[in-house]
Structure 1
Amino acid sequence: MRGIMIQGTASDVGKSLIVTALCRLLANEGVKVAPFKSQNMSNNSYVTRDGKEIGRAQGIQAEAARIEPTVWMNPILLKPRSDQQAEVVYLGKALETLSGRGYRDHYYDKGINVIKQALNHLQDEYDVVVIEGAGSPVEINLKDRELVNMRVAELADVPVILVSDIDRGGVFASIVGTLDLMEAHERQRVVGVIINKFRGDLSLFEDGIQWLEEKTGIPVLGVLPYVENHMIDGEDSLSIRSQFATVKEAKLDIAVIRHPFISNYSDLEPFLHEDDVSLRWVDNKSEWGQPDAVILPGTKSTINDMEYLQINQLDHLIQNHVEQGGHVVGICGGYQMLGEEIIDEAGSDTGIPNCIVRGLGIIPAHTTFYREKETQQVIGTFHSGTGLPTSQQVEGYEIHLGKTIFLQQGSPFLLVNNGVEEGYFAAGGQIIGTYLHHLFHNDVWRMQWLNMLRIRKCLPSQPANFLKDGKDQRYDDIAFQLRSHLKWDLLKNLINQWDSR
């Protein structure tokens, strides 16, 4: 197989962004290129056109490569449901929930087989495959049955580039230490090093580059800058810390409930690019403040996270916020929490059949969890009962267990996919519940909703900030920016001339 694998000295060193940039750079040169990650662990997922679920990073990377995302680009997705268990999504479909040991004991051989199948499929369809690793390739306690790093490089027979994050410190130790912990045959695959997230004067680091190359015998293929506000969706919980780390002073204060098992937090990323909006996480009542709006995002474990709100007394704060006229939006699991009751009939959310927990009681509805998950891309319009323009289109996707049933007549929010009523809309938009992920990626709707908040605070309305139109250009911008700091021709030669023998 012609390809390259990007591995890291740790999680969140920038592997996903680098793979995205490489996919766009190669696509821009006329190469038919595809991304691949054998096994992803993330609650930030992507729904393909045929309704399959893969890691969000691989969906974004496929977009950068200008190809349609498929399950072959991420055949295994693990979605954490607790500290000990994760849902296994295999070729785009949820199969079961297992402990870490249970997964390692029962899925290794099955995992190897589907990885081989996926690699063969991609090799037949594409000229080059850019493969992303996970975490570190030298997790000694996991190496005997790993499915994500050097074992995959061997199956694909591709060279490896090792990436390290200089921003977190210890870059020399992390690179040299990682290489020293590799087996000799593994280290022979490492053909280059990339240092990521560099800030400051690069001339002050030239001695460091020389030392690394002399110490390891491996070329440094680039020192990449720290890219601010790259607007490429994050992948996992560590990305939350980096992408949402800064809380700015702004006229609109939006509080986001940070569930322990938050999922698809990319729903919130467009707000980071609104000048008058401050987006901040709320974990407990001491952080509540006086928000203009509250968003309850998706969760991989609705009932566990609902109980978390109750234990931390956030449920009363949300209820009081609504009673005082504050705005609230619940998305997916957050929508389910807004109802009066959540019933785990099949045990598919908690593992305990017929487990029942009370919700926030803000929406007159109850949700029942069954076994089958709904996953689909969605195109819809606003329901006539909302008073919003019924000709205005919104797009997104659904990934959820459970069906929400209204206990009394209420106004649906949307008409989706052939006129199906979806969601809940009340008090002129003060209360909104929906299963539609990426609702706020619809630029005109985001403007309309923010203007509701602005008007309530006697602030002037603002025009739409069109982020969606520039998405493809951002792939080009990131690719161009990183290429200028890479030994690009050398990197391409390493792909084209690799011979493990």
Structure 2
Amino acid sequence: MKGIMVLGTSSDVGKSLIATAICRAFANNGFKVAPFKSQNMSNNSYVTVDGMEIGRAQGIQAEAAKTTATVWMNPILLKPRSDQHSEIVLCGKAIDTLTGRGYRESFYETGLTTIRNSLNKLAEDYEVLVSEGAGSPVEINLKERELVNMKVAEMADLPVILVADIDRGGVFASIIGTLELFTAEERARVKGLLINKFRGDPSLFEDGVKWLEDKTGIPVLGVLPYIENHMIDSEDSLSLPAFSSKKKSLLDIAVIKPPYISNYSDIEPFYYEPDAAIRWVSQLSEIGKPDAVILPGTKSTIRDLQHFKLSGIADWLIDFAKSGGHIIGICGGYQMLGRLLIDQEGTDTGSLSTNETGLGLIPANTYFQKEKNTVRASGFLHPMTSIKNENMIEGFEIHYGNTIVENEQHFLLLNNGQPEGYFANDGKIIGTYIHHIFHNDSWRAEWLNILRKAKGIPLQETVHISQLKDKKYDELAAKLVEHVDWETLVDITINWSTDHELA
């Protein structure tokens, strides 16, 4: 199988975005292309059409590649649930929770077999593989049993392009240092360098390009500009901006950021609303006087709720609700809004029979179960809500908890006939398990207009963000082809396996 591997000198250099652009560029050139990341560590998930869980980045890359996402594109997903433990999602299903040491010591051979099987599955249906690494490929303490960088390049026999982020500084040292720490065989796979996130006039970096090529003997395939508003969901919390600053922002929306936040892509549509500003809040002193609060998902609901109680945020949320404030909780945030959280099986905390009182803003109890619910969901606003919106709402669920609401004040009526979530006080308190609820343009516009009306500011028309997404994939690919030696990159991808020196 032909392919290319995108590695970075560190985390957050733009590997995922570049891999996404490469996927769309190959797809636009008529290739059947598949994204691949053998092992992803992220709490930002994507649910496939058959109800399997993979890293969100590979789901997005599959969309860019004009194909359907499968578990083979990200067979191993690690979801941190504490500083020491991560949930292991293998081929789309959660199988265990392990410490970092336990994972390295007990999972390595299983991981290799799973990766090999996944590569074989993808080779049956695709011509080109765009594989993405993780973090840095030269972490000396991890290299011996790594499952995501050069080991995968070796298993799939892929050439490598190395990406460095010039915006953070130290681009020369990061490239030279990474190459120096490769073995001779690993370095022989590196066939190109990419400089990412360049601001200003690229001609000012021409001497830098020449120096790198002279020093390394490896061509710099391109200098990519810093791309604003690309609309591609971020993979991890390193990519989250502290706030969205807009000169004309009239709505102030505070997102309470839990330590183990998950699926923060739920919030990203607000960045494209002209009069709304998002603030990520981690401390009580940062909250201020928002027009609305969003409690997002978390991989560890009870621990994060305890954190909010200790920090004073929980008491503030209760007072905010009593004063008529607007709060919407999504997944773990929805669970926190209830009266009681019961972790009999230990699936949320890792400890059996753990109970925690919630914020008490919703008449509901949550019971954590052994089996995780991962499913795509769709429906309409429940007939009992005070909002009349006939547009379908779509999203996905990823949760262990089963939340039982004591009355009929539900948010949605799903297409399977089941009521979902909670809706009260004309929408001032909303809870739902549906991730990407705000990616539904009509509903997002409706909710924002509720806030605008309450504040006495002009109502706005719907911003059709969902219609822009596919166009953005094409724009991203065009930007890549414009600033990269695309013909050489294609040649490296297509011809490596037939004529390289490591064959």
The answer, yes or no, to whether TM exceeds 0.5 is yes
* C-alpha distance after superposition, 1:120-141 (max 9, x if no partner): 1111110000000000110000
Q: Which residue of 2 aligns with 1:103?
A: 103
- Once the two structures are superposed, the pairs formed by residues 77-476 of structure 1 within 5 Å of their partners are 77-241=77-241, 244-249=242-247, 250-389=249-388, 391-406=390-405, 408-476=406-474
Residue 245 (structure 1) shift: 4.8
1:98-152, Cα deviation, whole Å (9 max, x unpaired): 0000000111000000000000111111000000000011000000000010000
Give the aligned residue type for 1:24. R
CA–CA distance in 2 between the matches of 1:245 and 1:462?
Answer: 22
Residue type at the aligned position of 1:179: L
Identity %, equivalent residues: 60
Cα shift readout 1:390-413 (whole Å, capped 9, x = no counterpart): 63200100000110012x313110
- In 2, Cα distance between the equivalents of 1:80 and 1:386? 36
The verdict on how the C-alpha distance between 1:278 and 1:163 changes in structure 2, with shifts beyond 3 A counting, is same
Distance, in Å, in 2 between the alignment partners of 1:228 and 1:59 is: 21
Q: Tell me the alpha carbon deviations over residues 385-439 of structure 1, each in whole angstroms, 9 at most, x when there is no partner.
A: 0033363200100000110012x31311001131110000001111100000000
User: Is this contact kept in 2: 1:34–1:65, CA < 8 A?
Assistant: yes
Listed one character per residue, the Cα deviations across residues 37-75 of structure 1 (whole Å, up to 9, x for unaligned) are 000000000000000000000000000000000000000
AA paired with 1:39?
Answer: Q
Contact map agreement 2:246 2:275 (CA 8 A) in 1: no
Residues of 1 paired with 2:386 and 2:339: CA distance?
A: 25
Cα distance, 1:237 vs structure 2: 1.5
1:410–1:426 Cα contact (<8 Å) kept: no
Helix, strand or coil for the counterpart of 2:68? coil
Residues 136-175 of structure 1 deviation map (CA, whole Å, 9 limit, x = unaligned)? 1100000000001000000000100000000000000000
> Hey, which bits of structure 1, 4+ residues long, moved more than 4 A?
none
- Structure-to-structure mapping, 1:60-75, within 5 angstroms: 60-75=60-75
Segments of 5+ residues of structure 2 without an aligned counterpart are: none
Is 1:198–1:224's contact at 8 Å kept on the other side of the alignment? yes
Distance 2:189 2:422 in 1: 54
**Structure-2 separation of matches of 1:245 and 1:177:** 33
Partner secondary structure for residue 495 of structure 1? helix
Unaligned runs of 5+ in 1: none
Residues in 2 aligned to 1:51 and 1:189: alpha-carbon distance in whole angstroms? 36
Rounded to whole Å, the distance in 2 between the matches of 1:139 and 1:246 is 34
Aligned-pair CA distance for 1:339:
0.2
| TM-score (norm: length of structure 2) | 0.98
**Mapped partners of 2:259, 2:155: distance in 1:** 36
Contact 1:325–1:430 at 8 Å: present in 2 too?
yes
Which one-letter code corresponds to 1:111 in the other structure?
A: G
- Would the alpha carbon gap of residues 267 and 151 (structure 1) be closer, same or farther in structure 2, given more than 3 Å must change? same
Query: Matches of 1:245 and 1:133 in 2, distance apart?
Result: 28
Please give the alpha-carbon distance, in whole angstroms, between the structure 1 residues aligned to 2:12 and 2:123.
28
Q: Deviations over 1:268-301 (max 9, x none)?
A: 0000111111100111111110011000000000
Instruction: Give the superposition deviation at 1:247.
Output: 3.4
C-alpha separation in 2, matches of 1:94 and 1:161: 32
Opposite residue 57 of structure 1, the aligned amino acid is A
SS of residue paired to 2:167: helix
Q: 1:496 & 1:96 partners in 2: Cα distance?
A: 38
Give the aligned partner of residue 47 of structure 1: 47
Verify the 8 A CA contact 2:44 2:265 in the aligned structure 1.
yes
Aligned length: 498
Residue pair 2:244, 2:271 contacting (<8 A) in 1 also: no
**What letter corresponds to residue 318 of structure 2 in structure 1?**
Q
Q: What is the distance in 2 between the residues matched to 1:482 and 1:31?
A: 17
Q: Is the 8 A contact 1:21 1:64 kept in 2?
A: yes
Deviation at 1:454, TM superposition (A): 0.4
Q: Structure 2: which amino acid aligns with 1:56?
A: R
Decide whether the 8 Å contact of 2:389 with 2:443 is kept in 1. Answer: no
- Native 8 Å contact 2:337 2:359 kept in 1: yes
Higher deviation after alignment, 378-387 or 388-397: 388-397
3-state SS, counterpart of residue 470 of structure 1: helix
2:475 match? 477
Q: For 1:177 and 1:203, how far apart are their aligned partners in 2?
A: 25
Separation in 2, partners of 1:496, 1:126: 13
Cross-structure match for 2:7: 7
Aligned amino acid, residue 142 of structure 1? L
Given that 2:340 and 2:364 are in contact with CA atoms closer than 8 Å, whether structure 1 keeps it comes out as yes
Measured in 2, the distance between the counterparts of 1:101 and 1:248 equals 44
Given the two structures, how large is their TM-score scaled by the length of structure 1? 0.98
Change (3 A) 1:227 1:272: same
In structure 2, give the amino acid aligned to 1:416: L
**8 A contact 1:256–1:279 mirrored in 2:** yes
Look up the equivalent residue of 2:337 and give its one-letter code. Answer: L
Q: Is the 8 A contact 2:7 2:161 kept in 1?
A: yes
Q: CA RMSD in A?
A: 0.9
User: Within 2, Cα distance between the matches of 1:455 and 1:112?
Assistant: 56
Contact 1:42 1:55 in 2 (8 A): yes
Distance in 1 (CA, whole Å) between partners of 2:245 and 2:438 is 19
